């Protein structure tokens, strides 16, 4: 008996859409569930070198919960590449300006750092409010503990 390997036709026919409501849920729990769905690890057809994952929509990103004192202590860093080009921003400021970035950065950090990981990341859609323009895809609702 040989190991199962997914084919491109099987992957294309098995794409699904999932909605995760992040209202008052912990950021890490949301991010791990989204990363698992994007990678396709919840499917029996999971193949490590293929993009077998599903599309994930996360709504209410502005109300996601950070535990402990992360709101004031967690720092997001960006560097321009130039000398002295480091910019540091606290999570509280990021939540006020771009609430989607909290979840996007957490999920991005859990995906592979390859072209395949970039393709998985493109299947993630994050919205600060409860509305999203993907109702035509008939997404199924996922509960996160």
Structural domain count, the chain: 1
29 domain-assigned: yes
Q: Model confidence at 129, in pLDDT bands (50, 70, 90)?
A: very high
| Helical spans, DSSP H, in the chain | 8-13, 27-39, 70-73, 91-97, 100-110, 115-121
**CA-CA distance, 54 to 16, in Å (whole number)?**
5
85 domain-assigned: no
**CA-CA distance, 54 to 19, in Å (whole number)?**
11
91 domain-assigned: no
Domain residues for 128? Answer: 11-66+97-142
**CA-CA distance, 72 to 70, in Å (whole number)?**
5
Q: Model confidence at 116, in pLDDT bands (50, 70, 90)?
A: very high
Residues 39-86: pLDDT tens digits?
999 998 888 999 999 999 999 999 999 999 999 999 999 999 999 999
Residue 123 CB contacts under 8 Å (≥ 6 apart), including other chains: 38, 53, 54, 55, 56
Strands 55-59 and 17-21: parallel
16 domain-assigned: yes
DSSP H or E run through 21: strand 17-21
């Amino acid at each position: 008996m040989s190991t199962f390997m997914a084919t491109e036709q099987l992957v294309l026919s098995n794409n699904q859409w999932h909605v995760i409501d992040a209202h008052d849920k912990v950021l890490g729990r949301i991010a791990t569930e989204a990363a698992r769905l994007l990678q396709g690890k919840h499917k029996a057809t999971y193949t490590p070198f293929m993009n077998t994952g599903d599309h994930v929509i996360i709504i209410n990103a502005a109300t996601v919960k950070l535990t402990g004192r992360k709101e004031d202590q967690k720092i997001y860093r960006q560097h321009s590449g130039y000398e002295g080009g480091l910019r540091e921003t606290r999570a509280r400021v990021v939540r006020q300006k771009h609430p989607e970035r909290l979840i996007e950065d957490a999920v991005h950090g859990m995906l592979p750092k390859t072209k395949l990981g970039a393709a998985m990341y493109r299947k993630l859609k994050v919205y600060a409010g409860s509305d999203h323009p993907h109702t035509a895809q008939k997404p199924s609702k996922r509960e996160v503990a």
